[in-house]
Amino acid sequence: MDVKNAIKFMILSSLAFAFMNIIVKYLKNVSSYEIVFFRSLSSLFFTFGFLIKNKIPMVSSNNKLMILRSLAGAFSMLLFFMSLKYLSVGTAVSLRYIAPIFAAIFAVFLLREKIKVLQWFFFIISFVGVIILKGLDTQIDTFGLVLVLLAAVLSGLVYIIINKIGNSEHPVVVVNYFMVVATVLGGILSIPHWVTPQGMEWVFLFSLGAFGYYGQLYMTKAFQNAATNLMAPLKYIEVVFTVILGATLFNEIYTFWSLLGMALIIAGLVANVWYKGRLKENAL
């Protein structure tokens, strides 16, 4: 276990995802459908390249689950990108991160898993953060909130489907399916909403795939080099980076209530990860 390198990888991953979020926020004149299209298309350069180089079969034997995972992920991405048109980038990222709560709820009904009482308490803390964000922060747009919560629900469903897929597929094959489906979906939906990018917008659009790919790559490396219960909480520094970049580049203002809401959301999620890690350690 190499904790020092794992921390470095997780910081790099969080920075990559934060920059991707900021670029999406910057591209306010480009439709969310186009952003999904270009983000996914540019990622295919990396996923196809990896699979071809390593001679890994691209077609899965479990097409139904793979396509279902891809559709859920693509619509989750689209809804999240749409929410950035209405919410500050830090708020949207924080709210998207409650996806594990929905995943846990899905797991109860679909996988017959049991959730401990203390885990429900941690989930309630996070939901209180959501309530504070909407109830006490007058800057929160209701439509944007609905969009990002739906994105989180679909993202939670993605976790469940990936759990069902298990280790039967190479991770890059799973991501490649996701990117192919998202490219097709984004391309079709963008046709009636197409706005031709201007100047540097082309560069930013194609850079989304690179930031997304390397964010995923370094996050995987972090989890490979250290225990999940140590690394998972560090993933939430993406919120910190995003808030700082949003305030610096877009002059976004975060009120006391919005910061408190985000802090509670992250605290509940980090506590749940820590508790699940303890349960696994005790089970060994």
The structure's pTM equals: 0.89
Place of tokens 């996050």: 219
pLDDT digits (tens, 9 = 90+) for 169-227: 888 888 899 999 999 999 999 999 998 998 899 999 999 999 988 888 888 788 767 76
Nearest 10 degrees: Cα torsion 149, 162, 23, 261: 40
Q: What average pLDDT score do residues 4-10 get?
A: 85
User: Is-contact 151 76, C-beta < 8 A?
Assistant: yes
Q: What average pLDDT score do residues 255-267 get?
A: 89
What is the domain partition of the chain in residue ranges?
3-283
Q: Choose among 155, 59, 50: nearest CA to 98.
A: 155
Nearest 10 degrees: Cα torsion 190, 196, 198, 204: 20
Q: What is the mean pLDDT of the chain?
A: 88
| Local confidence band at 60 (pLDDT 50, 70, 90 cut-offs) | confident
Q: What is the pLDDT of residue 181?
A: 95
